[in-house]
Amino acid sequence: MLGMSGWVLRRVPWVAERLRPLALDPERRLVDALNPQSFWLIGATVVLGLAALAIASVLGVATHHYWAAVTVVAIFSAPTALIRYNRISHRVGGTLLGVGIAAALYGGDPHPLYVIAVIVVCNLVTELIVGQHYGFALAFITPIAIGATSLGSVANWEVLFVDRARETLLGGAICFAVVLGMRWAWRRAGRELPAS
């Protein structure tokens, strides 16, 4: 509802005339994304996500193994992410900061309505800043994920905090190893790393 509120407000004439006009032509089209590089990235991301899930399950360092896979998939969702470190640092650093914020917000045994209120506020903050800085947005996305995981079950908050941190670190380590290997392979093949 919050995301679509601008569309609704533009239907009110006296509000619409005070707002900047929207660019109706998209800057990117879906057909532009349908290329061999995109399909290769999608395939690699799926394989690496499943590998992270398998590694997390085998190691058994936490009980929410899918968080390691989510970390890998989130990091490798950008075209040059397989050869860049910046998304790894944003994801891991932002999530660890978010775990600290979640621990502060959910300390004790919070009532489910309080948890929902925290999720709503964190979602609002996330929407405001995600386009500016991915890592900082994760500091607020993480309490949303932890809070949502707690709803509908008896939450062991300490386990949720530790699991989120451990699985994110594991996923980040897997991504770091992949990026290190990809950069080595690119240089060995005599290819120049793209600028962005």
pLDDT given for residue 186 in this prediction = 79
Q: Which residue do the tokens 């939450």 mark?
A: 155
At 10, list the tokens. Answer: 């533009």
* Residue 37 clears pLDDT 90, i.e. is over it: no
Which of 31-35, 58-62, 78-82, 126-130 shows the highest mean pLDDT?
126-130
- pLDDT band, very low/low/confident/very high, at 26 (cuts 50, 70, 90): low
pLDDT given for residue 52 in this prediction = 93
- pLDDT band, very low/low/confident/very high, at 70 (cuts 50, 70, 90): very high
The residue-averaged pLDDT of 180-191 equals 84
Lowest mean pLDDT among 8-12, 101-105, 122-126: 8-12
Q: Whose CA is closest to 174, among 49, 84, 78, 58?
A: 49
**Residue 100 DSSP SS3:** helix
H-assigned helices in 17-133: 30-33, 36-59, 66-75, 86-105, 112-129
* Residue 143 clears pLDDT 90, i.e. is over it: yes
Q: Summarize pLDDT for 73-99 with one digit per residue, the tens.
A: 998 887 777 778 888 999 999 999 999
Average pLDDT, the chain: 85
Q: What is the pTM of this model?
A: 0.78
DSSP code for 83? G
Q: What is the CA radius of gyration of the chain?
A: 20
The residue-averaged pLDDT of 120-124 equals 94
Whether 44 and 72 have beta carbons less than 8 Å apart is answered as no
* Residue 134 clears pLDDT 60, i.e. is over it: yes
pLDDT given for residue 24 in this prediction = 67
**Residue 61 DSSP SS3:** coil
Q: Could you give the C-alpha distances from 117 to 2, 106, 113, in angstroms and in order?
A: 15, 11, 6
pLDDT given for residue 79 in this prediction = 73
The residue-averaged pLDDT of 162-189 equals 90
Alpha-carbon gap, residue 2 to 13, rounded angstroms: 20
Which of 39-53, 67-81, 93-107, 127-141 shows the highest mean pLDDT?
93-107
Q: Could you give the C-alpha distances from 52 to 32, 48, 187, in angstroms and in order?
A: 30, 6, 25
- Please list, in sequence order, all residues whose beta carbon lies within 8 angstroms of the beta carbon of residue 187, skipping any fewer than 6 positions away: 193
